[in-house]
Structure 1
């Protein structure tokens, strides 16, 4: 029954929300969000470490290692988190876009270019399927990203408190 509705869909294959979701889920950057918590956190720590490579020399110019090691460590850790924040923002925006395309009852699509856009109303069976995907697969991913943001804010607050105590 779903297949017959999909075959009548005027939206080009690459612009159909389900295909966009599958493509996003398999892309190298976004698939990390679907990993287990342990693997996901490991990837985030790797991203932080790579960002730290760029942040540490900047922190060293303000807080020389031999004079102020604790402030150097805190400022380089905070600077390293900038890369993680940018990464998480990109992940959140990508998954939010797919969530809105799947959840929406009407899909905007372009047939051959930006000048000939159209809207297509999803049949109820397609809409139900897409909303189930949002509920059971995309919402947990967005919650994970939000929770990671909250963890970073908590670490930043803890680092600020330690900074004030030094």
Structure 2
């Protein structure tokens, strides 16, 4: 006789698989899971829109009519701040869900902050969650880390070139 698996006591909205599915379908968090063009386009758009803030600030520091190179470089570097923060939020969100999928003993709240419990995932659910992390979430986190590296390289190049111009 086959034994039935115990019912999962974790509320549906606290299940890591549900959090993962919501993030994957979310307008914002789905950026990380898109193809290269679908990922890069929103980042470039956010960077372009960031010029609306960084451009005037750079113009006050370096007059575009007298110091065009320094103006362009400082505005471009300043415009990296908002995309960097945006991608950091993506990284933190995906990392959080990945961590919750990877753990075997899942903490949850039944009805409020004062009644925390821990549910141990059965082997089949634990294995499924680990596969999702390995094949879906880790590539997203790797892509984001590579993007951070590119942005850091741009920042270092820009700072070095500001001192040359």
Larger CA deviation: 37-46 vs 73-82 = 37-46
Q: Specify the alignment match of 2:152 in structure 1.
A: 153
Q: Which runs of 4+ in 1 moved over 3 A?
A: none
Q: Give the 3-state SS of the residue equivalent to 2:39 in structure 1.
A: helix
Larger CA deviation: 61-70 vs 98-107 = 61-70
Between the two proteins, the alignment pairs up a number of residues equal to: 162
- Mapped partners of 1:32, 1:162: distance in 2: 31
- Mapped partners of 1:53, 1:30: distance in 2: 24
- Mapped partners of 1:24, 1:116: distance in 2: 26
Matched, 1:112 2:140: no
- Mapped partners of 2:124, 2:162: distance in 1: 56
- Mapped partners of 1:117, 1:153: distance in 2: 41
Q: Specify the alignment match of 1:14 in structure 2.
A: 13
- Mapped partners of 2:30, 2:90: distance in 1: 10
Q: What runs of 5+ residues in structure 1 fail to find an aligned partner?
A: none
- Mapped partners of 1:57, 1:146: distance in 2: 30
Q: Specify the alignment match of 2:102 in structure 1.
A: 103
- Mapped partners of 1:9, 1:39: distance in 2: 36
Tell me by how many angstroms 1:160 deviates.
2.0
Q: Specify the alignment match of 2:88 in structure 1.
A: 89
Q: What runs of 5+ residues in structure 2 fail to find an aligned partner?
A: none
Higher-helix-fraction structure: 1
- Mapped partners of 1:63, 1:159: distance in 2: 15
Larger CA deviation: 140-149 vs 105-114 = 105-114
Tell me by how many angstroms 1:113 deviates.
0.9
Q: When the two structures are superposed, what TM-score results if normalisation uses the length of structure 1? A: 0.94
Q: Give the 3-state SS of the residue equivalent to 1:141 in structure 2.
A: helix
- Mapped partners of 1:152, 1:123: distance in 2: 41
Q: When the two structures are superposed, what TM-score results if normalisation uses the length of structure 2? A: 0.94
Tell me by how many angstroms 1:120 deviates.
0.5
Q: Give the 3-state SS of the residue equivalent to 1:66 in structure 2.
A: coil
Q: Specify the alignment match of 2:33 in structure 1.
A: 34
Q: Specify the alignment match of 2:134 in structure 1.
A: 135
CA RMSD of superposed structures (Å): 1.1
Tell me by how many angstroms 1:133 deviates.
0.1
